[in-house]
Amino acid sequence: MKKPNVNKGKTANRKKIFYAVGAIVIIAVYLFAYIIPNLTNKQTEETEYNFMKEGTLTFTDSLNNPITKIDLEIADSDYDRQLGLMFRKSMEMNQGMLFIFPEQEPLSFWMRNTYISLDMIFVNADKKIVTIHKNTKTLSDQSYPSTEPAQYVVEVVAGFADKYSLKVGDKINW
């Protein structure tokens, strides 16, 4: 009678363990090499938007007397208008973003993913201020609508409109 080969069963178990450990190592390498860096890069993109000066905007009173000037970043594409000032951690008092829309219409903004309280200044096609929302609530889906049709919106740091006594009827130029 032939004796069963006990080592044959042990060898098969060792192969299974070896393949299982190998599969775990391959999965771990994949996670560390591809998935985790992509997640980290996405978080970095969301938190590292910096102001890029693209022009200068002047606020004037209704008689075109200058009130103040700011450095300007422009949002004139669908993507830039949607992104706006989201994910920004800070902005200077002399900086702002000008949103340019293709035509004049009722507009409404919100503060989703926006960490800086803002003053939102809605401006019609004649570049006249029609609505000012001051000290908006950060990280909020609350709607801030224009009271009249607007084609432009200027966002500046909260307190700007009060500091420079901006009011409906004042104008912008850039």
Give the contacts of 83 (CB within 8 A, at least 6 positions apart).
49, 75
Residue 41 pLDDT: 45
DSSP 85: T
| Domain range for 158 | 55-173
Q: Same structural domain for residues 39 and 60?
A: no
Q: Same structural domain for residues 8 and 72?
A: no
Specify the pTM. 0.73
Residue 36 carries which side chain, given as an amino acid letter?
A: I
Number of compact structural domains in the chain = 2
Residue 96 carries which side chain, given as an amino acid letter?
A: G
Give bridge partners of residue 91 from the DSSP assignment: none
Torsion of CA 96, 101, 104, 107, to 10 degrees: -70
Q: Same structural domain for residues 116 and 152?
A: yes
Residue 11 pLDDT: 67
Q: Same structural domain for residues 31 and 11?
A: yes
Q: Same structural domain for residues 6 and 44?
A: yes
Give me the average pLDDT of each 10-residue run along the chain (174 residues): 60 70 66 56 57 97 97 97 95 98 98 97 98 98 98 98 98 98
| Cα–Cα distance measured from residue 120 to residue 122, given in angstroms and rounded to the nearest whole number | 6
| Helix locations, the chain, DSSP H | 6-30, 36-47, 78-83, 160-163
